[in-house]
Amino acid sequence: MTKIIGLTGGIGSGKTTIARLFEDEGIPVYIADEEAKKILDLPETIQKVTSELSPSIIIDGKIDRKKLAALVFNNPENLKKLNAIIHPLVKIHFDKWVQQNHNCSFVVKEAAILFESGSYKYCDAIITVTASEKTRINRVTQRDKTTKEAVLDRIKNQWTDAQRIEKSDFVIENENFDDAKIQFQNILKKLRNS
C-alpha cells in the first residue's frame, strides 16, 4: 500500500524546494495549494464560494484572489466557510491522485496548512521544514514583492514551527540549501528503508 508523506512548513520555509528534491528522486509530489487554486477556478466551486461569501469577489467570471483574501484574512468565520468548501474537494482530488500512483511505495503531499486542515491525519509520516523568521521574511519579500509587515501577518496566521515540529516525524532546517539537502537525503534513506 502506498504511504503518504506529509510535507509542511510555514510561509518562506522552503517546503517547495524540498518538494522538488523529492520530484528529482522520481517520487510523486502533490502540491495541495496549486490544486486548491485549480479547484477554486471550477464553475461549480465559484458558484458555491460566491453564494457562501459574496458575489463581489467575481471579476470576468473568475474569483479575484485578492478580494477573496481580503474577505477571509482577518475573518475566521469566512475562512471557515471557504475551507469547508475547498478542503473536501482537495481531499477527493488527492485520493484519486494517490490511486493513480498506487504503484509507488510512497508519495508526498506538500501543504502549508497540513495540520490546520486536518489532512495530517491521513499521513503515514510528516516532515516539517523550518527556517528562521528573518530568512523566511527575506525569502517571501523577494519572491512575492511584498512588505515585511504582510509576511509577518501571514506568519502570525499559521501554526508556529514548535506546534508543527511537535506533531512531525522529521524536521529539515532549511537555512541553507546544502545543509537542507543532506538532511533530506538522510530522511529519504529512512523512508525508503521503512
Task: Say how far apart CA 147 and CA 141 lie, in whole Å.
Answer: 6
Rounded CA separation 151/12 (Å): 9
- The answer on whether 9 is annotated among ligand-binding residues is no
Handedness of CA 146, 151, 157, 158 (dihedral sign): positive
12 is in an annotated binding site: yes
Question: Is 16 annotated as a binding-site member?
Answer: yes
Q: How many CB atoms sit inside 10 A of residue 117's CB?
A: 18
Tell me how far apart the alpha carbons of residues 88 and 62 are, in angstroms, rounded to a whole number.
21
The answer to whether 15 is annotated as binding is: yes
Residue 118 labeled ligand binder: no
Q: What's the farthest any 2 CA atoms get from each other in the chain?
A: 52
Distance CA 19, CA 135 (A): 19
Q: Do the annotations mark residue 13 as ligand-binding?
A: yes
Q: Each residue of 28-46: b (16+ CB within 10 Å) or e?
A: bbbbbeebbeebbeeeebb
Binding residue ranges: 12-17
Known binding-site residue numbers for ATP: 12-17
